Chains A and B, each alone.
Chain A
């Protein structure tokens, strides 16, 4: 049967996908430009159908700690917010990673710093990819660039979260959150039964201790520094496995490209047009779009540099964050420059094209 195509906002789709992937609970607190996530959940009332809990917490701090509690029991839980709200949650990310708890966090980024603006931005790249809070840890970070990916990545994020028992962030922005596009929704998956949760997460989850198993302790506190170090090494080994196995990216016209634009999320959509403009003008330009920001497609970019790419432009809606990872990947083999707009201003394909000419091609 042909699936129904719907026209939906990115934020609405996040809510639909959360229900359809069989999530057990959503805890959140409203903030522009992602308020439609909880609004849509409240309208769909999944507690009447799948039994999914939807709860407006008293603050973002409360929401992330509710996530911690529910995740401890092996349930599939998520939260969403926008930049300042995500900062409030960030202490929780560290605790979740430290306690090895799976969960999904969505950031529909707005301009910052501080309370900033409510328009789209990508200025939370550092926060999303370098841990985002204290301690040696990473979030696994997915960056959707279409409404369909907003849907698909909710499913992928839960997969990854449980595979690695680590918080996974979907790093979106006000463009993808607010825009409507065609989307095909997945069929409803049932929520896991209690028995299924107990069976699948038997090694760690708090499902009620029985006589036939050891007690499970969920904590991020360790009093012995050497034990903490051993634990941290275990975490790092896990992140190395993530780096090895979970890198995702997409390329556009890179096969013969002399110059490479690196862009993610909504910026990548804009830069696709820049590539076409440059090609029309006779310049061999291609685009690589990191889909996972952590793990970053370091190897793919390094290979482009090794194959003789003459320059890289990291085009971001910020003042230069991902460019650091691009520089590490290129490792001095070619010039790497940054172009960005910030604070909620969004660059046009022409602006990126002009930057490409002045900073890379004609330099």
Chain B
């Protein structure tokens, strides 16, 4: 098992923390993991991305040029990373704010209207866990039980009161993800 994933979007969308929850879920399932963020000027309000690798073997390079899965949450990320999905790989995106939709036909494409769902529920904070749920529906690489454990591990204790809300969001995300092609 080896999953090479990139999550990219605006700083503040929870890109890095989504990656961290997923990486910690991998740890809970005894996998090897690496989490490598983009950092620097782009984090201060611009685009942010994180490369997460989850594998049953020792991870060699933590930096990658091609990905099994890309979760793309703004237009800049779509423009930059659509071409970096491996043939046969998966691209997941939120249609909110996307003006140029993905064009590739050699990969599987899914949409998840997480921004809309979060707004509908009046809770923008669940945006990233909705996305995570959608991803796990398509790529069930870790058990939901371990994801919930990973979620708890990646949050400081003062934030544990938000666990039920986020667990529910993961389940909702699994329901609202849609296959495009």
Contacts and interface: CB of A to CB of B under 8 A. Distances in A.
A44 interface: no
B61 interface: yes
Contacts of A119: 40
Interface string A336-363: 0000000000101110000000000000
Interface stretch (A84-92, A179-187, A290-298): A179-187
Contacts of B152: none
B32 interface: yes
Contacts of B60: 269-270, 272-273, 276, 349
Contacts of B35: 7, 179-181
30 contacts: A7-B20, A7-B23, A7-B27, A32-B39, A32-B40, A33-B39, A33-B40, A118-B40, A118-B41, A174-B39, A175-B36, A175-B63, A178-B37, A179-B35, A179-B36, A180-B33, A180-B36, A181-B34, A181-B59, A182-B32, A266-B63, A269-B61, A270-B60, A272-B61, A273-B60, A276-B60, A346-B63, A348-B61, A348-B65, A349-B60
A108 to B, nearest CB: 12
A7 B62 contact: no
A179 B65 contact: no
A180 B37 CA distance: 9
Contacts of A266: 62-63
* The 7 A-B residue pairs with the shortest CB-CB distance in the complex, in nearest-first order: A272-B60, A180-B35, A270-B61, A179-B36, A273-B61, A273-B60, A348-B65
Most B CB contacts (10 A, CB to CB) among A5, A119, A174, A269 go to A269
Nearest to A346: B63
Nearest to B40: A118
Nearest to A177: B39
A350 B63 contact: no
A179 B36 CA distance: 4
B153 interface: yes
Contact of A7 (B24, B37, B39): B24
A178 B39 contact: yes
B40 A180 contact: no
Give the dominant DSSP class at A's interface: mixed
A328 B41 CA distance: 40
Contacts of A269: 59-62
Interface in A90-139: 117-119
Contacts of A7: 20, 23-24, 27, 33, 35, 153-154
A354 to B, nearest CB: 12
A209 B154 CA distance: 51
Give the interface centre of B40, B59, B63, B64 by most chain A CB atoms within 10 Å: B63
Contacts of B41: 118
Interface string B38-70: 011100000000000000000111111100000
A181 B32 CA distance: 8
Contacts of A276: 60
| B24, B33, B39, most chain A CB atoms within 10 A | B39
Which interface residue of A174, A180, A349 has the most chain B CB atoms within 10 A? A180
A179 B34 contact: yes
Contacts of B24: 7
Interface in A21-55: 32-33
A182 B63 contact: no
A33 B64 CA distance: 20
Nearest to A174: B39
Given A7-B23, A7-B27, A181 B63 contact: no
A348 B20 contact: no
B39 to A, nearest CB: 6
A179 B33 contact: no
Contact of B62 (A5, A117, A175, A350): A175
Contacts of B39: 32-33, 118, 174, 178
A276 B34 CA distance: 19
A31 to B, nearest CB: 13
Contacts of B63: 175, 266, 270, 346, 348
Nearest to B25: A7
Interface in A263-308: 266, 269-270, 272-273, 276
B22 to A, nearest CB: 11
A137 to B, nearest CB: 34
